[in-house]
Amino acid sequence: MAVPKRKTSKAKRDSRRSHHKLTAPNLTECPQCHQPKLPHHACPNCGYYKGRQAIEVE
Ligand SMILES: [Zn+2]
């Protein structure tokens, strides 16, 4: 089996991982209850989407 000749340097290893970061989700304000919610999703707090009750929330 092929074996690496040299240990991967810190710079090579770290630059490979430079795309591994996480990004925070985009949040918009619900026009109904003014809580943060994901865009293009029904609000998890009040269940409204496009100005009407889209899902039931107790
Ligand atoms: Zn809402």
Ligand 1 mean position to 15 CA, how many Å? 41
Ligand 1 mean position to 28 CA, how many Å? 10
In the structure, what pLDDT confidence band is assigned to residue 22 with cuts at 50, 70 and 90? very high
Does residue 11 have a pLDDT over 80? yes
**Taking the domains of the chain in order of start, what are their residue ranges?**
26-58
The DSSP result for 1-57, as a single string, is: ----SSPPPHHHHHHHGGG----PPP-EE-TTT--EE-TTS--TTT-EETTEE-S--
Phi, psi of 49 (to 5 degrees): -150, 135
17-39 average pLDDT score:
94
Residue 51's pLDDT is 85
| Cα–Cα distance measured from residue 30 to residue 37, given in angstroms and rounded to the nearest whole number | 6
Does residue 49 have a pLDDT over 80? yes
Taking the model in full, what pTM does it have? 0.57
CB-based burial label for 29 (10 Å; 0-12, 13-18, 19+):
exposed
Ligand 1 mean position to 29 CA, how many Å? 8
Ligand 1 mean position to 42 CA, how many Å? 8
Ligand 1 mean position to 55 CA, how many Å? 11
13-36 average pLDDT score:
94
